[in-house]
Structure 1
């Protein structure tokens, strides 16, 4: 089996020594090539090239951003491999994820251990036993995501956190909470919700202030605690949506409190929840912050979301 290990050298929970141990462990099971990412978006190219040259397995060592880039590389290689028969997931190399970031939502949602050593053991066992899982992905316009996407408050908070990290701050739950609070009070037009949600054959939902899209549960983690607006979301279903209409202080505080206490019964007139949706479009009257898998991707006024069935083969 030929495999590519894509390493983010900035991965927060590993060292050069631990990476060397990982490489030796993987080489005991596969014919391994190791490549280090050099810039944002580099993992996409590395994974796409691997798929197009017949590599059987792509392993990532990094956080959710590295995973997202690698997945997009694999999926954008799919047209070149279109002559192969069978589900999309079987036309592409399998993916394995060694958790190396600060949160690792995708790996944890798959049930992978948080420790990279234990995660590597699971992957080696999966390779030797031929064990894998087929999962659905989400697609936002032309970009794929593994666990979540967002427009509005959620994405603007991630933008604030990324700006703080560029100034040397460490990514912590406290930093996210401060960024979320600051964005709510100073960075949102809470009186004039700018977004609408359109579904084929359904009435348009207007007056939406923020949108969270899930391809699985949970949406994210704060330390060990999961945060889950749509606990019914799953890798083998369509997309789930939790949208909030007018972001008034009492209603928003109630919703955030329910999420903090891990309530699955979000209530309030401002909450819109949709389960197992094949496709929908979010349209905004003015540009909105946009994120996929925890990476801020700029601003958008229209995004078309689609659930992509049986898109990825994962060793876990």
Structure 2
């Protein structure tokens, strides 16, 4: 499954990748043609009994493929198997600008090295079973967010539509601009509710992680919840206020060599099974780095042992 608009590959490099994979597996190539197309392609592959789905693209393509797999009805099998074993395995060739999911799996940043590692994994039968996150009815692989981070992604996507190239500098400029101009820093609107626990109210922004790191700025990992893992539940970091001193301190902690954000304005929750985020006014919402509009209520859940991946 190839995203022809993948930012770090060319038509020639995609041809090289296809030939390399065809040397190891019986391969059918499908190109995504619009947003959401990878969902239907992956679902069709799973329901046709395909054993492996390979994506070439960024984190958005991976997210769509995962949602297609997780919502498929694969052919019935006689032997009892777990949910992950009934679905095709997933192999991810990094082709986007950031490739957080692939890098969190330990794959190299560049697609030629990533392809070599995947081919080796196929030959050796090397895979792992990972957990996913779910936000209402949509799955995510590494992160979600309501508030500031999602609003920054919205601004970056608008800039890309105007022809700007996605770079760490663009994200930083968009974050600073939105923080000082677009954010309502005086009136925190978000509340986090957990079964059997007091609500955490008056949060200005919430970041949810299914693994670490949350994202990258170039080669630098940004890690609000460094203990987050594919093998555990969801981790949360929320900021109660967006005052300049406390926010500056938290950002400095995030970018340090040993990130461990803390302070009176920081909420940290580890290994959570389920929770609901409720806002008094619409908040920007993102999954796996894709802006999905505004929401006022999202139920999050951890989905353990959900998917097999080649790594």
TM-score using structure 2 length: 0.98
1:294 shift after superposition: 0.2
Question: Residue deviations 1:167-226, cap 9 Å, x none?
Answer: 000001110001001111111111110000000010000000000000000000000000
Query: Could you tell me how far 1:162 is from its partner in structure 2?
Result: 0.1
CA distance in 1, matches of 2:127, 2:94: 17
Which residue of structure 1 aligns with residue 252 of structure 2?
A: 257
Counterpart in the other structure of 1:228: 223
Q: Give the match for residue 123 of structure 1.
A: 118
**CA displacement 1:231-264 (0-9 Å, x = unmatched):** 0000000000000011111111110111122443
| Large movers: runs of 4+ above 2 Å | 78-86, 262-265
Residues 22 and 160 (structure 1), Cα distance of their counterparts in 2 relative to 1, 3 Å cut: same
- For the residues of structure 2 that align with 1:315 and 1:58, how far apart are their CA atoms? 10
Separation (CA, whole Å) in 2 of partners of 1:164 and 1:17? 28
Q: Is the 8 A contact 1:226 1:262 kept in 2?
A: no
Report what 2:92 is aligned to.
97
Unaligned runs of 5+ in 2: none
1:12 — aligned with what?
7
Secondary structure at 2:27 match in 1: strand
In the alignment, structure 1 segments of 5+ residues that lack a partner are: 1-5
Q: Deviations over 1:15-37 (max 9, x none)?
A: 11111111111111111000100
Aligned with 2:266 (options 271, 283, 308):
271
Question: Residue 175 of structure 1 corresponds to which residue in structure 2?
Answer: 170
SS state of the match for residue 213, structure 1? Answer: strand
- Aligned residues of 1:218 and 1:226 also touching (Cα < 8 A): yes
Q: In structure 1, what is the Cα distance between the partners aligned to 2:75 and 2:61?
A: 22
Q: 1:101 to 1:132 in 2, by over 3 A?
A: same
TM-score scaled to structure 1, two decimals? 0.96
Q: How far is 1:115 from its partner?
A: 1.5
Please state whether the residue corresponding to 2:155 is helix, strand or coil: helix
| Aligned residue pair count | 311
- Residue matched to 1:198: 193
- In structure 2, distance between residues paired with 1:194 and 1:310: 34
| Residue 283 of structure 1 pairs with residue 299 of structure 2 | no
Shift of 1:83: 8.3
CA distance in 1, matches of 2:52, 2:116: 16
Residue aligning to 2:27:
32
Post-superposition CA distance 1:87-138 (Å, at most 9, x none): 2111100000000001000000000011211111111111111111000000
